[in-house]
């Protein structure tokens, strides 16, 4: 018998044309809605049955769809560093959180799977926001991107750093800096802040000599360049580097330090 993480999960969906009364009020994370909102939500939902061991949605699914587990038990799984699927969260009936956009070069292959036969309600995300919040979807997305999204990025960075080698972590930091403080020129993205090796080491929780060694390797491979005293980040090459290296983790011995990365309150590096 195969272990649980090796079961073959496929998309086993039986479409249902009539939703009936799903009694959304009983769902804990939707119980705060008014009777009027629940009525509108019920009418707008489409329903389907997903058979046991079927895939409800994954990272490749449409980000414009909201999912509600109406009945049954589901779970979130991802691939661990050994390539096996691991359970990260069990789900009871209610609103199912969507997956955040993956960090470049990092892909855990998240998916939502049916543990039992599950009844799933789906609705356009924009309509869901308008019914539940009384706001336009575009306005909510701006708020999410500028507030919730930034905190989500911090959490993603922390979790990703725990599973990356020092070289991969440095590549991620350089990509972040070029996105926030970069100006495009003929060579790539020129940083408008001084990225001293000492400051990069502080961000990474690593030693300055080790960071200097990897920066020299990056420059030799053409991932970064120097123009006078300014650092040029070649984003496409760094992204390809991450895609190549993170697909197969090295041994844990290759991880430089176990310290947590720190960041300066100003968000910029010193001169």
pLDDT tier at 160, thresholds 50, 70, 90: low
More confident residue, 88 or 119: 119
User: b/e string for 33-71 if b means 16 or more Cβ within 10 A?
Assistant: beeebbebbbebbebbbbeeebbbbebeeeeeebbbbbb
17 and 132 co-located in one domain: yes
pLDDT tier at 222, thresholds 50, 70, 90: very high
Q: How far apart are CA 52 and CA 54, in angstroms?
A: 5
Residue identified by tokens 């997903």 is 50
pLDDT tier at 202, thresholds 50, 70, 90: confident
Which residue, of 124, 155, 186, is where some domain finishes? 155
12 and 114 co-located in one domain: yes
Residue 38: is its pLDDT beyond 80? yes
Whether residue 170 lies inside any domain: the answer is yes
Q: How far apart are CA 172 and CA 261, in angstroms?
A: 12
Secondary structure (DSSP) of 73-124: -EEEEEE-TTS-EEEEEEE-SEEEPPPPPPPTT-----EEEESS-EEEEEEE
Residue identified by tokens 């959304």 is 24
86 and 148 co-located in one domain: yes
**Interval 84-115: pLDDT, tens:** 888 888 888 999 987 766 555 556 688 999 99
pLDDT tier at 199, thresholds 50, 70, 90: confident
Give me the pLDDT at residue 45, please: 92
Name the domain count of the chain: 2
Mean per-residue pLDDT for 57-85?
Answer: 85
The parent domain of residue 241 ranges over: 164-254
User: Is the pTM of the predicted complex or chain greater than 0.75?
Assistant: no
Q: What angle do CA 83, 55, 118 make, to 5 degrees?
A: 135
33 and 142 co-located in one domain: yes
Whether residue 205 lies inside any domain: the answer is yes
């Amino acid at each position: 018998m195969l272990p649980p993480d090796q079961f073959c999960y496929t998309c086993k969906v039986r479409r249902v044309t009539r939703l009936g009364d799903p009694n959304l009020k009983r769902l804990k994370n939707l119980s705060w809605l008014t009777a009027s909102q629940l009525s509108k939500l019920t009418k707008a939902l489409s329903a389907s049955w997903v058979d046991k061991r079927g895939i409800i949605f994954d990272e490749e699914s449409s980000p414009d769809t909201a999912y509600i587990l109406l009945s049954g038990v589901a779970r979130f799984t991802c691939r661990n560093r050994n390539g096996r699927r691991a359970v990260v969260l069990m789900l009871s009936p209610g609103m199912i959180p969507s997956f955040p956009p993956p960090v470049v070069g990092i892909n855990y292959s998240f998916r939502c799977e049916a543990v039992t036969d599950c009844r799933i309600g789906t609705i356009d995300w924009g309509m869901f926001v308008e019914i539940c919040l009384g706001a336009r979807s575009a306005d909510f997305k701006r708020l999410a991107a500028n507030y919730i999204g930034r905190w989500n990025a911090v959490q993603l960075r922390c979790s990703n750093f725990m599973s990356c080698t020092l070289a991969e972590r440095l590549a991620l930091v350089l990509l972040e800096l070029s996105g926030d403080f970069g100006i495009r020129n003929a060579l790539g993205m020129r940083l408008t802040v001084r990225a001293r090796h000492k400051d990069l080491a502080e961000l990474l929780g690593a030693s300055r000599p080790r960071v200097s060694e990897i920066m020299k390797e990056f420059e030799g491979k053409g991932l970064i360049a120097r123009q006078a005293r300014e650092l040029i980040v070649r984003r496409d090459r760094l992204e390809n580097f991450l895609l190549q290296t993170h697909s197969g983790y090295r041994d844990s011995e290759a991880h430089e330090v176990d310290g947590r990365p720190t960041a300066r309150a100003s968000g910029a590096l010193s001169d």
